[in-house]
Amino acid sequence: MKKIGLIFLAAIMIITLSGCQSKKTSATSSTTKAETSVDKIKKAGKIVVGTEATFPPFESVDTKDGKTIVGFDMDISQAVADKLGVKLEVKDMKFDSLVEAVKTGMIDFTAAGMNPTADRAKVVDFSQVYFNTKQVLVIKDSNTSVNSAADLSGKTLGAQLGTTSEKAAKTISGVKQVKTMDKVDELMLEVKSGRLDGVVVENVVAGNYLKVGGLKIVNVPELNTDGDLGIAIAVKKGDADLLKVINDTIVELKSNGQYDKLLEKWGMSK
């Protein structure tokens, strides 16, 4: 009987210890930190940025090789990748598809001269603003009839599809039509050919297209009823970890002097 009792007691102890171990394992599993977007990026060894490469000096195709996308935004994106210790992969796509691409996870973030509008902020989260611009009108340099908003009555304007420039162009009273296209360089060709009377675009971008000749800028205050436009980076809604990395990168670039060097590199001013 004594032997049977000892065997029974040993069995009870094994069951008890097994149960404790199970609870410990369960508790450990429940407290394991969920994998963040930054963890996934580091594991993949790359971070993917989406852009639209006809928006110099923010982003454009390098004329040296005809394929590399370069620009102010790309340098900031590279700094983000460097901070994470991963490679930067750039995807060139239509501007009006960028927000959806972030939302669905096709890309990790945007760097595309994007303004953090209230409508966009409902779908994605934005970094701090890292540059300010305003809308201007670009016309043929031989055009002397357009000097103000009043002169645009009956005119056909162009703007990049899905941008704040499109919205601004549509606010001008009396404009006959606002034609949208995916690429800014194509819009500029339309102006030069006379098929468009003008293109609404952000001032720093307009300045770059003036370098090729045949165009000039007209300042139209009515295009900027919302004030100066900030440029920011978009990430997936709720992705606080990646957003922090991006904001920290911007702060560091400004504090260590690299931001000013990038402005100088791309012919931009604060």
CA–CA dist 241, 89 (Å, integer): 19
> Has residue 2 got a pLDDT over 60?
no
The stretch 121-139 carries a mean pLDDT of: 97
Q: Is residue 230 within 8 Å of residue 129, measured between CB atoms?
A: yes
Structural contact between residues 135 and 128, judged by C-beta atoms closer than 8 angstroms: no
Contact by Cβ (8 Å): 71, 266: yes
Q: How many C-beta atoms lie closer than 10 Å to residue 205's C-beta?
A: 25
Kindly report, residue by residue over 131-185, the tens digit of the pLDDT: 999 999 999 999 999 999 999 999 999 999 999 999 999 999 999 999 999 999 9
For 147, half-sphere exposure in the C-beta direction (CA atoms, 13 angstrom radius) is 2
**Residue 136, φ and ψ in degrees, nearest 5:** -135, 170
Radius of gyration of the chain (CA): 27
**Tokens encoding 205:** 């971008």
Q: Which residues of 185-199 are buried (b: 16+ CB within 10 A; e: fewer)?
A: eebbebbbeeebbbb
Lowest pLDDT segment from 1-10, 112-121, 164-173 = 1-10
Q: What is the pTM of this model?
A: 0.85
Confidence check: pLDDT of 30 > 50: no
> Per-residue pLDDT for 21 more than 80?
no
Q: Taking all residues of the chain, what is their mean pLDDT, rounded to a whole number?
A: 91
Check if the beta carbon of residue 78 is closer than 8 Å to that of residue 33. no
pLDDT given for residue 46 in this prediction: 99
The confidence score (pLDDT) of residue 270 equals 73
pLDDT band (50, 70, 90) for residue 34: confident
Tokens of 206: 């307009």
pLDDT at 32 exceeding the cut of 70: no
CA distance 174 to 154: 6
The residue that leads in pLDDT, 21 or 40, is 40
Tokens of 236: 């997936």
CATH number of 37-132+230-265: 3.40.190.10
- CATH of 135-224, picked from 3.30.70.260, 3.90.1150.10, 3.40.190.10, 3.30.300.30, is 3.40.190.10
Q: Which residue has the tokens 């995916």?
A: 182
> Which segments of 58-181 are extended strands (E)?
59-61, 69-70, 87-92, 109-110, 124-126, 131-133, 135-140, 156-160, 177-181
Query: What confidence tens digit (pLDDT) does each residue in 190-208 have?
Result: 999 999 999 999 999 999 9
Residue 167: what residue type? K
Q: Which amino acid is at 135?
A: Q
> Is residue 27's pLDDT more than 90?
no
Q: Please tell me if the domain spanning 37-132+230-265 has the same topology as the one spanning 135-224.
A: yes
Q: What percent of the chain has pLDDT over 70?
A: 88
**176 vs 12 pLDDT, higher one:** 176
Q: Which residue carries 């669905």 as its tokens?
A: 104
Residues 73-77: what's their mean pLDDT? 99
Closest alpha carbon to 52 in 90, 101, 95: 95
pLDDT in tens, 78-109: 999 999 999 999 999 999 999 999 999 999 99
Cα angle value 262/57/216 (rounded, 5°): 130
The full set of domain ranges for the chain reads 37-132+230-265, 135-224
